[in-house]
Structure 1
């Protein structure tokens, strides 16, 4: 359901055994601006449709029932707003979709002691080094205790103490590493005073290096060809919201069963359960920042047409929310790359903001790679030379098509998007909205039978295979996981009832990509590149 303005109302009671504790009210995400009232008191304001926030409501509570009101403003791409919206628009058409608004992730209360953990970041590398930062609600300087347990045996394999508010590190001996083929995870217990938080982590290192003369992405020190889908996360019955966890995991498991080892979460941020599933299944995640208003123009008084781009204040807000994205999502080991801009959407060209934003993301999270501009406009920032081209790939190759740029051998060559071939289906599997149905013919290519669709897929996968063997292709992203509204180019239909791929063919074609990538490496130690 979409509304520019909306109110949400409910009541809640606090368990009697929470007496003396702080009561925290948590929101997974509200799109877009939320003002929260508890028993008539203005408890907090939050801006940003993809990010979690927490407010201590202890001082606003009554004995017995408590009233919770949330006022939401969600302008999406209404003038004059230029905000992170991803693929949402008030005017859906083909690759831009029905918007959602309001509370679209979980809401819950919890009890906490007077000094509780407010921020917890732990990263674990392939050499066993654990880096931790723990912040608390009171003045920092409290003792932090961390225990790490083997998830299978439940045995404690390491303990360490540090001080809240300061980064500290320790080493775990010979951990089992996380990778798509062995997604090993370790459980953690973190304690500060009377507060205890349960988390998990995976030991892995993301880096880049020169392997046989080519810049490559490295997982645990080795080049692994990354192949995934453009994963948009839209649903016919909930738009941004899947019907349940099982449906969400079904999409991910379908990708894993076909042989993909990665996905690109396309200009949307999912629930924590989504990333936990990727951690557990073993799917690397390339995480996009939700884009500002894409591909929209305005006509000036002199009748010239101008692309709608952010002003200085809107650019600053985009940067603030990019910081929220990295800070919120960086605990998940499956995330291997951050994407800042997609195809120039909201990217100012009067200067090159991606350079400063890349530096910012690098400071916030030096443990991952950065794809500063996937597709275009590429001025040389970040770790990737990223080409978009439909339907055929142009990956790390000596040929390209504008507006993508020629392959830059000083960075990693990847195919950020390709494929996108479609196959129309009967009305019972379509988004039954006439405006969407009318745009189906805008699909990059339409194949009239599934046999033809699989044949064309095989040929396109064969092309990128050649580019892995002959050139400098290090990864590819196929468009896309599922159909969305007027797009019929998914591996699955929008209702998830038709799986288009010939499974054995696709598994074989994808495995050939991994084999070709492995054949381009050797067992010598890669020459590591500086970021």
Structure 2
């Protein structure tokens, strides 16, 4: 059915979850308002669009390694399109760029003030002042994430280059600064997305949005900040607290070859529970007596203070152990030694006003609160990596995270000789870069207690199949992080790697069952039976809640199933969740992922609409159905159940 722009469809039930209040700003450097910046009207707004202002994301952005001396550089910067890759050879030092842009934001978003199209090459600039009180310290310039390649200049000098659109990086800019005066910061960004022959981690971004692939995000889309640190300072903390109270920690320092000792203190509610000294750049262990364990039902967290010479940082951890083992002869995921049925949503992390960048922290956390209130205990972060504050919120709320590695050129093909169509896959160099960025993903995020599982490949996207690289990549992830499970191939091309036998099927589940479909693999009882995706049923809405792009609107009927009323949608959801419950009772189902948290562009199969203004869920029904899943799993843990 073709959907005209003015057509009116069934209205949805309003969510019962109140919108959180706005948060104040502090530690902000860019206070000045810019007359040139203005929000560009996006195809759809959210309740937070008009709350963003010109001082976005004031929160300290790195919760596991916090310093007191810092300065937020978010705000209104300058932007202009660049002519091509060679433009980086002729930086526009001292020049006023063409227009204002809000940082952080995606250039293609309304919040950016630019709403660009095909933003392959870009210049960004701002200025900042550094107090003379920071003299004698190292001044570190931090970027939360820049998509995709960033070349950074300070006061006319190149200070660094970074590749990878999802990951934090820091540059020591001390020698390029002047104190108590304005410093010029200039950033060149190249973001090819899926242009030409580039095969890079992009997730669901595409220059040609269509149905389940979305508007791209280019530029500086996470927080930029300065901080002062001593010459020998802490660069990274790797922390894991297990169910026995053991803390496994590595304190990485900037002086890698200079032996030093760090002091680690674990405390809660003002009471010191343990203090231990250990060497930098090497793992060491100590024990906290009788800690309260972290779980979705009791997300207990403990503060951690680390001192290295003159450097002191704040962090936190939770005590829990994630593993797998047999329960009544069936492979199960275990949390603190007990079978946990992980049930969550496919969470795309897209916003109509900000695309990859949520409008505010409050908005980002709201999505997680919706899931928690319905009874979900997990979220699958789908081929996107979020700001670190997202994972802190999951730690605090008690939501396990299944974290995907962003895919390479998902579901795209090219024509070769004789007009034959073949999937676009990485060459040797591109595969090596994918592997390097997978390492970065694990190393940057492995200390968040909520992360339970790493996903390497989704539905064969970018997955080489003439040999099986997922086996080597699985070993690599386990070496970097032996404390988590690995879902090597969620859906499609499963050759036996990893901890999960993971089925994707729409709309009905096929979880750990003796039946499967042609586009999946038969259940492997030597691994955990898991429903990596199912559901996906849709319900259309009135035009004011839709992404107002005609191509997206025209693709709505490509949804796996369309239910014409909200009552029918809830009825069908109840039936599908009931099928999953039966598969828990009868077969080897150990968890599932419902598609999806929110609508996205041309998809209308979310629990809530893309603008986050309306919810489809019958709250009491969903709460009861989800509890029934946990009850069925608990029964399989406590007593032997007959299987077919």
- Shorter-chain TM band: over 0.9
The residue number in structure 2 matching 1:193 is 309
Matched ranges for 1:70-109 at <5 A = 70-109=187-226
Quote how far apart the aligned CAs of 1:522 are: 2.9
SS at match of 1:316: helix
Counterparts of 1:13 and 1:238, CA distance in 2: 28
Residue 290 (str. 1) matches residue 397 (str. 2):
no
> Residue 347 of structure 2: which of 231, 248, 258 is its match?
231
Provide the residue aligned with 1:529 in structure 2: none
SS in structure 2 of the partner of residue 66 of structure 1: strand
- Give the distance between the partners of 1:285 and 1:179, measured in 2 at CA: 12
Report the counterpart of residue 137 of structure 1 in structure 2.
254
Task: Tell me which residue corresponds to 1:346.
Answer: 462
1:302 aligns to what SS in structure 2?
helix
Distance across 1 between alignment mates of 2:358 and 2:231? 36
Q: Distance in 1 between matches of 2:197 and 2:499?
A: 34
Greater RCO between the two (CA within 8 Å, min separation 6)?
A: 2
1:28·1:107 contact (CA, 8 Å) conserved in 2? yes
Q: CA deviation at 1:62?
A: 1.8
Of the three residues 161, 164, 168, the one matched with 1:45 is 161
Instruction: Name the SS for the 2:363 alignment partner.
Output: helix
Q: Which runs of 5+ in 1 are unaligned?
A: 525-531
In structure 1, distance between residues paired with 2:278 and 2:398? 31
- Provide the residue aligned with 1:247 in structure 2: 363
Count of matched residue positions in the alignment of Structure 1 and Structure 2: 522
Residues 1:521 and 2:628 are matched in the alignment: no
Cα separation, 1, equivalents of 2:250 and 2:457: 28
SS at structure 1 position matched to 2:235: strand
Which deviates further from its counterpart, 14-23 or 256-265?
Answer: 14-23
Q: Is the 8 A contact 1:140 1:165 kept in 2?
A: no
The aligned counterpart of 1:120 is 237
Q: Give, in whole Å, the separation in 1 of the partners of 2:245 and 2:193.
A: 44
Match of 2:296 among 172, 180, 196: 180
Partner deviation per Cα, 1:428-452 (whole Å, 9 max, x = no partner):
0000000100100000000010000
Q: Which residue of 2 aligns with 1:169?
A: 285
2:26 aligned residue? none
Deviation at 1:46, TM superposition (A): 0.2
Shift in Å at residue 306 of structure 1? 1.1
1:495 paired to 2:592: no
Tell me, in whole angstroms, the C-alpha distance in 2 between the residues paired with 1:428 and 1:169: 55
Indicate the residue corresponding to 2:147 in structure 1.
31
Q: What CA deviation, in whole Å up to 9, does each residue of 1:201-244 have, x standing for no partner?
A: 00000000000010000000000111000000000000001110
Equivalent residue in structure 2 for 1:453, among 560, 565, 569 = 569
Distance 2:262 2:532 in 1: 41
Deviation string 1:45-85 (CA, Å, 9 cap, x unpaired) is 00000000001000111231110000000000001100000
The offset of 1:523, in angstroms, is: 9.0
Structure 1 outlier segments of 4+, above 4 Å? none
Partners of 1:377 and 1:369 in 2: CA distance: 19
SS at match of 2:419: coil
| Whole-Å separation in 2 of the counterparts to 1:498 and 1:513 | 26
Is the 8 Å Cα contact of residues 24 and 54 (structure 1) preserved in structure 2? yes
Deviation at 1:386, TM superposition (A): 0.1
Distance 2:171 2:327 in 1: 48
* In 2, Cα distance between equivalents of 1:522 and 1:438: 50
CA RMSD between the two structures: 0.9
Shift of 1:350: 1.2
Question: Helix, strand or coil: the match of 2:418?
Answer: coil
Question: What do residues 99-128 of structure 1 show as CA deviations (whole Å, max 9, x unaligned)?
Answer: 010000000000011100112111000001
Equivalent position of 2:33 in the other structure: none
Alignment of 1:160 with 2:276, yes or no, is yes
1:407 and 2:523 aligned? yes
Q: Deviations over 1:14-39 (max 9, x none)?
A: 12211111100000000000000001
Q: Does 1:269 align with 2:385?
A: yes
SS in 2 for 1:521: helix
Q: TM-score, normalised by structure 1?
A: 0.98
1:325 aligns with 2:441: yes
Taking structure 2 as the reference length, the TM-score comes to 0.80
Contact kept? 1:374, 1:416, Cα under 8 Å: yes
Aligned to 1:148, which of 231, 246, 266? Answer: 266
Tell me the distance in 1 between the aligned counterparts of 2:144 and 2:409: 23
Q: What does residue 533 of structure 2 align with?
A: 417
Per the alignment, residue 59 of structure 1 pairs with 175
Q: Unaligned regions of 5+ residues in structure 2, if any?
A: 1-106, 109-118
For residues 217 and 434 of structure 2, the distance between their equivalents in structure 1, rounded to whole angstroms, comes to 20
